[in-house]
Amino acid sequence: MSRRVDVEVGKSGQVKIEFYGFEGDLCYEEAESIGNILRTLGLKAVPLSITPKTQSEIEAEVGIEEAPRRKVSVS
């Protein structure tokens, strides 16, 4: 699955970022990288909330893997 970052910038510059398709803690590392670049551009982003996605939300993103199919002989 490809990685995706959706960002919504509100009226007075409030930013909401949603990460899709990142394994493990990679999304937190990516958030840090984005934050570092924003700082070099003069935009300080102060976290208001950080909400990990639930297992069901992650499964909905990546799709539940199907169980491996078994060959059955038909005679």
Residues near another protein (CB under 8 A) are 2-25, 27-28, 30-31, 33-34, 37-53, 57-58, 61
Q: Residue 63 CB, nearest distance to another protein (Å)?
A: 14
Q: With contact defined as beta carbons under 8 Å apart, do 19 and 59 qualify?
A: no
Residue whose token pair is 């490809």: 2
Tokens of 75: 């005679």
CB of 21 to another protein, least distance (A): 7
Host H or E run for residue 58: helix 55-62
Report the nearest approach of another protein to the CB of residue 57 (Å): 8
